[in-house]
Amino acid sequence: MRERLEQQVSFLLEVDKMKKIYRQTHILGKDRAENDAEHSWHLALMAFLLAEYANEQVDVAKVMKMVLVHDLVEIDAGDTYAYDEAGNASKRQRELQAAERIFGLLPGEQGQELRALWDEFEEYETPEAKYAHTLDNFQPLLLNNANGGGDWKDHQVRKSQIYKRNAKTGEGSREIWEYMAELIDGNIMAGNIEEA
């Protein structure tokens, strides 16, 4: 029993490193970049609060777990900016290696459960995974919009890039995607997102 507890504690200390993985998205007010732990917490809260907008009935507790673990791999793989073509080319391989190591820190069945949640998120097939992806795309867009579109401006993000990244977002929630599209259009009109 003590060995099991020590494995769990080791995992919990390891995943504390998420607080040091900074994203391109800034917190509200643009004081600093958001970290992965803050992003995951925000998604978990959104999963509960916005579940009524999911296209299909979802297991909210499962979605919350999924979004809490979906970026744990970034402890090893790092955060890859959504519009970084070179970084995204190697992202899958880096994250698979990280998943093996990080989820392997836990006792067998717990590691397998979290790895299965991560795999389900990555495969993007179940209603829970589709809804989780919608939230994962919505949250940074929401913050960026609230911050006056600065992150899009700084990175010279184009409309075509945003629409490519969000090609499947409506599969999780049509209503949330429609809301997102309105925010995108407003930022194009404001000059924060390039039209092309």
| Model confidence pLDDT, tens digit, residues 57-89 | 999 999 999 999 999 999 999 999 888 888 889
User: Which pTM value belongs to this model?
Assistant: 0.96
CA 74 centroid distance within chain: 11
Three-state secondary structure of 68-83 = HHCCCCHHHHCCCCCC
